[in-house]
Structure 1
Amino acid sequence: MSSFIHKVKSLISELSAQNVSRIFTIATTSKGEEEPYLTPLRVTRDFAVAGCVIFKQECLLDIIELVDGAVDIVLVDTEKKIPLSINKQALLASDSIYLKRNTIGPVETGNLSKICFQQISKSATFEFKPNDLTVNSAWSFLSQRLGVLSGKRIAILGAGNIGSKLALKLVECGADVHIYRQQAHVGYQITNGLNLIKHENTVSNITFHNSLLSTSFSADVVVGCTNGVPIIDNEVIQTVKKNALVVDLGKNNITADAIKLAIKNKLEIYRVDVTAALEGFIYEMLKMRDVLNSSYGKKALSFCNIVSGGYLGEDGDVIVDDISKPSVIYGVANGAGSIKKSLSSAENEIIAKLKKEVCLC
């Protein structure tokens, strides 16, 4: 573990040297790999981001000690993917994450976000959901690569958290989605649930199959969504369409022989890249922070109230872009979450006065 911590230290040093907002991510996966690993440094015009993926809490305090104050923002995985277990390492006095618990033994709860929020004091800490970023990345790629999703037959092999979320997004776009899961009884329940959740006017459905090959048969796209188990093999490749797209939604979802067969038949293989989704999420997170810190809320003026940032206005409140320095007037709230379509003479006078005396219009 000391070797990994040394690598984390080097990565943080490289990240902290960047002249933009510096962001470090701490994530985990349900694959339960042997060793933790680093995620690459990505530098944009506005921020630089790098991070690590860990599978036990035992090294978390060491990472926090290195990262707190060395970066501007820490993004921590809020999804609970580490199973409960007993920590087998010798406890030190500094192991507060174990000693403060009310259990007899040192229990690994897998709650990374809670520990980070408790322990990090110098850097800003925010939660993020890597699984959702993976789903969004896959959906965005398929949408743009295929041009239109409606009518495409898409096979998802592995209907867990990620596969199920992707299935819902795809069927909502009109795709003909077929899913497979080894635990058939669970797969049927997931399928029924997703078909109930999708919009009632969505004609397309999600179909569950007991057979792997019937799932992938004649598919335009076959997606491997297992926890590192190679599920797309030679037989699966033989069942898809001649111009099918093969997607690895993670790691090691395709056997080596299947890759060779796909390449031999000139099939395109895509290994999902989360760069676009991660960067998009960071911009969203930074914008939401700015909204909550500066423009969200309600402000009383001498002649009216103004609201902005999504704050629900009461009947007659004026909706603006920023209550601290309004420059755009969107309208007058009707008190029910919408904008009035017609204004009274008194409300028009308020708008005129607001433009003249307050707004930077």
Structure 2
Amino acid sequence: MEINEMLRKELKYLKEYNNSSIMISTTAKHALDFRVLPRRNIPGVLAISCFMINEECMLKETLSFFDGKVDYVYIDVELKQSLNLFKVAKEVIKKSKLVSVKPNDTTIESCDLLIRNYFEDNIYNKNVIIIGTGNLASKMAVRLAERQAYVYLIGRTKEKENRHIEALNSFLPKYSSPIQSIEGSQLVEQVDLVVSFLSGEFTNDETLFPLIHQNTFIIDGGINNFSNDFIQRMLLKNVHITRLDTRIALPYQFLSTHEYTNAFFNDVYGASIIQGVSVVAGGYIGKEGSVIVDSTKQPNQVIGIADGSGGVKKSEQLCETDRNRLHKIEKFISTYSKTVI
């Protein structure tokens, strides 16, 4: 099927929805120059046609075709290849809204949610094996260690494994159990969770077999990380093994365009003037004497008076002007609340 015909087919699908978008990503693995990926949608919110593109001419053709025909163009901003998708998209997209996304972050959020769901949000003291020492494996190892699991890392080489373990432990929270190498560890019990994030197939199955039991949960996050033989053996033992579906965290990927996020930046964050008084909210550091509130547009709470250096003045530090400013804003809030009721 010609590329243009594929694009027209996707556009026909998108036209059935009030809000539409396309998502374009690439991969570090060897892949085709152009591929249509499974569609995604958030019921009642958004329909998405997805593409994997690794060739600049095809990228430009796709972007030009959809520009102005969809509401959003989501672009993978991670540089996995020499082709810079976001740079090209900035040059081509003129009518649709261009939004950068980080698929790696969505993958991590999806994996985290899957694990939390499986273990009913209780990873405390679970024995976890992470296979891999790359971006995703490292982030997942830290995430699960922070959730109070005992994490053991398996790398392609002992040297790389040790280097990563040392680096990850250097910034773990102080009282977290340190991430360890499975080799030489005190792990004698069977494991609760195995997560693999490799760019190829795991070839050391024998390391895992003695540690896996019927209730072990195995996640193939790298896709095709485990051999057919390994998968068959797990299924025969009724071990739950699954491939990661990143649609789990799809709302996270679109958080920057969500109405809640937009409302925060439009109505909460920043500085404004209310009743002639300077107010700040949302973490915005105000000048000395500014009133710190919970929202710059329609405040419901007064936090205090800014001291001009990122802090809040103590009660004994308040001057008469400060107290007058507080009184004005508190009166405004009280009046506004009665009007709303």
TM-score by structure 2 length? 0.85
Matched with 2:191 is 219
Q: Does 1:346 align with 2:324?
A: yes
User: Any gaps of 5 or more consecutive residues in structure 1?
Assistant: 83-108
Identity of aligned residues (%): 26
Q: Does 1:299 align with 2:272?
A: yes
Cα distance per residue 1:189-227 (max 9 Å; x no partner): 11111000111121x11113569x999983211112111
In the aligned structure 2, how far is the partner of 1:259 from the partner of 1:52?
29
**How far did 1:130 drift?**
0.5
Cα distance per residue 1:201-258 (max 9 Å; x no partner): 21x11113569x9999832111121114255747634542332111110311121121
User: Superposed, which structure 2 residues align to 1:302-321 within 5 Å?
Assistant: 303-321=276-294
**Is the contact between residue 184 and residue 210 of structure 1 (CA under 8 Å) also seen in structure 2?**
no
Matched with 1:175 is 149
Aligned in 2, Cα 1:8/1:289: closer, same or farther, shift over 3 Å? farther
Matched with 1:34 is 32
Q: Which moved more, 1:246-255 or 1:214-223?
A: 214-223
Cα distance per residue 1:68-112 (max 9 Å; x no partner): 111111111111111xxxxxxxxxxxxxxxxxxxxxxxxxx3211
**Is the contact between residue 216 and residue 239 of structure 2 (CA under 8 Å) also seen in structure 1?**
yes
Aligned pairs, number: 330
**Is the contact between residue 8 and residue 38 of structure 1 (CA under 8 Å) also seen in structure 2?**
no
Aligned in 2, Cα 1:118/1:340: closer, same or farther, shift over 3 Å? farther
Q: Which moved more, 1:38-47 or 1:349-358?
A: 349-358
Matched with 1:114 is 87
Q: Does 1:277 align with 2:276?
A: no
**How far did 1:42 drift?**
1.4
**How far did 1:166 drift?**
0.4
In the aligned structure 2, how far is the partner of 1:310 from the partner of 1:48?
34
User: Any gaps of 5 or more consecutive residues in structure 2?
Assistant: none
Q: Which moved more, 1:299-308 or 1:219-228?
A: 299-308
Q: Does 1:207 align with 2:172?
A: no
Matched with 1:60 is 59
Cα distance per residue 1:108-155 (max 9 Å; x no partner): x32111221222111111111101111111112112311311211111
Instruction: Output the aligned Cα RMSD.
Output: 3.0
User: Superposed, which structure 2 residues align to 1:37-48 within 5 Å?
Assistant: 37-48=36-47
**Is the contact between residue 302 and residue 330 of structure 2 (CA under 8 Å) also seen in structure 1?**
no
Aligned in 2, Cα 1:39/1:234: closer, same or farther, shift over 3 Å? farther
- The residue identity in structure 2 corresponding to 1:143 is R
Matched with 2:128 is 154
**Is the contact between residue 146 and residue 173 of structure 2 (CA under 8 Å) also seen in structure 1?**
yes
- The residue identity in structure 2 corresponding to 1:77 is D
In the aligned structure 1, how far is the partner of 2:214 from the partner of 2:198?
24
TM-score by structure 1 length? 0.80
Aligned in 2, Cα 1:55/1:328: closer, same or farther, shift over 3 Å? same
Matched with 1:11 is 10
In the aligned structure 1, how far is the partner of 2:91 from the partner of 2:281?
31
